[in-house]
Amino acid sequence: MMDKYFLFAALLAGAVSTSAAAADRFAAVEIKAQHVSGSIHMLEGAGGNIGVSIGEDGTLIVDDQYAPLAEKIIAALEELGGDRPKLILNTHYHGDHTGSNPEMGTTGTIIAHDNVRVRLLAEEEFPRSGLPLVTFDDDLNLHFNDETIEVMHLPAGHTDGDSVVWFKESNVIHMGDHFFKNRFPYIDIGSGGDVDGFVSNVEAVLARVPEDIKIIPGHGSLSNRADLASTIAVVKATAAAIRDALDKGTDSAEIVADLNESYPTWGSGFITAERWVQIVQADTSR
C-alpha cells in the first residue's frame, strides 16, 4: 500500500514539475514590437512572428504564438494603441502560430483556410473558442483599417492549409512558415506538406509582389523581397542536391556534413541540416 502511495506521489510530482517547466519556458519571453509600414507592426516573442494592423476598425492580428503568451501579446497590442483583436488570421495550424487562439477567440473572430479548422478539430481537447469561425478554400479579401487584405491559400507547401496575408495599401506581406529567413524550412510532410509545392508557392508569391514590399517571415527578422528570393533559392538548390546525392547512394551523414560546410548557419534554427535531409528524403520516398 505504501509503495503505491509513493508511486502516486512521484507521478504527481512529475506532472507538477512538467507543468511548471512549461510555464517557466515562457516566463521570461518578452514581446517586442516593430513598426513595419502604415498601420502594420510585427510582434516577436516565442514562436511565429505576429502581424498586426491597428486602426479605426480595431485590431487585427496574423497568428498568435503559444497559449501562455496570450496576455503578453494583448498587453503589447495595448501599448501600440490597440485592443483585443477583433480579427485573428491563422497562416496555418501549428501551435506556435495558433496557441493563443482559445484566448483570442473569446472576443474575436478567427479566420483561416478550411484545412486549418479540420486539423485543429483533430487536436485532442482543443478548445472550441480557438477554432476558426470563418474558413475559405482558395483566396479571401478583407477590408479593414483602410487596407485591402488579400489572404492567399498556398496549397501543399509547408502544410495543406497555409495562407499568406498581403496588406495592399501598406505594401506588407506576412509569409507564415513559407519563409524561415536564411534557415532550412520545416515542411510538414505528415500534414500535407510538399517540398516542390513549397518552392512553387514561394516563387508564385515572388512573381506577384512588388520589389519594394516589406515581408514578415514566419520566423526571423523583418525582410524584403531579395531576402525571400535568396532564401528560396537556397532551399531549392539544397533540396535538389540532397535528392541527387541520395540517388547516387551517398550516405546521409556525408550529405549533412556537406550542407553544414556549404551553409554553416542555415541549420542553426529549428531545422538542422540533418532534419532538412530527413524531410527531403521523406518527401522523395513517398
Query: What pLDDT score was predicted for residue 238?
Result: 98
Q: Which of 179, 145, 186 minimizes the C-alpha distance to 163?
A: 179
Q: Does the pLDDT of residue 42 top 60, yes or no?
A: yes
**What digits encode the pLDDT tens for the residues 164-183?**
999 999 999 999 999 999 99
22 — pLDDT class (breaks 50, 70, 90): low
The reply to whether the predicted model has a pTM over 0.75 is yes
**What digits encode the pLDDT tens for the residues 209-255?**
999 999 999 999 999 999 999 999 999 999 999 999 999 999 999 99
Q: Between the CA of residue 240 and those of 232, 233, 245, 270, what are the distances in Å?
A: 12, 11, 9, 21
**What digits encode the pLDDT tens for the residues 115-163?**
999 999 999 999 999 999 999 999 999 999 999 999 999 999 999 999 9
Mean pLDDT of 89-113: 98
29 exposed, middle or buried (CB, 10 Å; 0-12, 13-18, 19+)? middle
Q: Is the dihedral of CA 82, 85, 87, 88 positive or negative?
A: positive
At the fourth CATH level, the homologous superfamily of domain 29-224 is: Ribonuclease Z/Hydroxyacylglutathione hydrolase-like (3.60.15.10)
Query: What pLDDT score was predicted for residue 2?
Result: 40
Query: What pLDDT score was predicted for residue 11?
Result: 42
Q: Does the pLDDT of residue 85 top 50, yes or no?
A: yes
Q: Does the pLDDT of residue 30 top 70, yes or no?
A: yes
| Domain boundaries of the chain, sorted by first residue | 29-224
17 — pLDDT class (breaks 50, 70, 90): very low
- DSSP-based three-state secondary structure for 277: helix
Query: What pLDDT score was predicted for residue 32?
Result: 98
Mean pLDDT of the chain: 93
